Structure 1
């Protein structure tokens, strides 16, 4: 407490666990909410990667029976070294490149299920040929089951690509999450109208979990996106038109207002840190300090002048967006271009949200 760490906290990012919720409430009880962003309403943030895992797990729970025969087939042909060898020999006889060995998934890890399906699907003809040669092999998937597995694998491919992007980035920043999360929401919306009933149910289950998370985090991700000079408000407008249709304008306006509110809160905090607490009028001290009211006047004037930060935010938003480049380093850009009174000091903490 001697270092005033309690006044320097922004957020805590945790996974989706009820015990974490209880812990956060205990921490907030020991803090002054006025020192936190928006009085603590942004203090507890959900882990994006963890929520993605929960979304996929919920979806796979619906379709697990539809891919069971593929799992059984993989289990059969990986059960012994002799069967593995026979499977590889058959693939070579059919002139099918044997680049990857079959791998059985761990049901609690959706990415392993994706990998199992992706590899097994590439050897569909091998499984069919082995059915003709191996009487004990009785779990060959039907044509419809193979097609269903391809549909599921195609859906998981999006999640897998995004998860790999997040994990492969050495220093992930919050601005990279928003467009990917929006793409997931749009994709789920398409899956819900799939002609396959199981795919529909999977998408509905995913959407329920997604909306619960989206309602908490989308405004924070929106702020981080605004601070990306390649995107600013334009990317919000682009995606929100697709996601919200007629309500897109009000949603964009809400994120814009949040940016200004955060800048205003930051500037007010800085004025207090630099100028101390506002003096109070005490009738008994007026004779001793006739200029005490002047001190109050100056403090109010300083706060009124804080609007110049808002003007700087306006200037930033009005500037053209930068071209999109894969190797863009947003932290370095703000380091070089974020000289005061740019809005970065006030909003830069949002780059760290994950």
Structure 2
């Protein structure tokens, strides 16, 4: 459990500090989580200074904060507990963005992709992601590049060649930067895959073009997965 505190110091400045990074032992029940948080609060002697608690939106957190606030004040009302529990804005924004990109049931979409991967249904997974438009196509391209050490190394060689031919004397080198694959466990991973792809777009284009010269079609990126101008 990671516990941060946000407060205003005696000079009127906003401060943020990491209070604890605890390994949570046992089951992650509301009661156990509340006990861990309460121990941290007591350790720092700030029991009387707790205003609100910010955490993500899983229902377990509703339960554990109910336990926690009752440890601070046994007479607290349910309405006051609810008022002092702030939802994590980052989590809410992430859910909205995922719904916008992948549809209402983003978790089911990602779960189906995981199942395809476990079953080795590569072509089915490519179609699955491609159905989500440009983001899905980019996912497939990056997954292709990162699917083996040989492909990753070839991409790096292409990037160095592009840089050598471009004479980028005044720009920071990006040749060693890898493309990044998005995943469901990292909230901003879709943003990261796009941001990195934009920085590496010349290298990605050159890589796809170089593969077109290969006689073995299995070494090509499918035309259906290549981003168009409309994308």
Q: Which TM-score band applies after superposition, normalised by the shorter structure?
A: 0.3 to 0.5
Q: RCO (CA 8 Å, sep 6+): is it higher in 1 or 2?
A: 1
Tell me which structure has the larger Cα radius of gyration: 1
TM-score normalised per structure 1? 0.33
Which has the larger strand fraction?
A: 2
TM-score (norm 2): 0.47
More helix by share: 1
